[in-house]
Amino acid sequence: MSEEEDIKPVKILDCIGLYCPIPIFNTTQEMETIESGQVLEMVTDDPAAVQDIPRWAKRAGHQFLKLFKEGEHYHFLIRKG
């Protein structure tokens, strides 16, 4: 099993139906509730998040791990810095 497949989020944040800047705002708040090194999965249907979340993660000092799409939903895996 690859390291990427081992990624287990400690929390899943549902931002479906919310649009910029709310997913970033909610993700910022949720990241404050987890420990450094833990992974958050954020799910949204906002296509702007595809560019916004990786940029936000870098600026905020977090590690953007992965983006995948299931149906109309984008899933982001972010490791807290």
> Please, are residues 77 and 53 in contact by the beta-carbon 8 Å criterion?
no
Retrieve residue 24's tokens. Answer: 């970033």
Residues marked as catalytic? 20
Q: Which positions ≥6 away from 73 have C-beta within 8 Å?
A: 16, 43, 44, 45
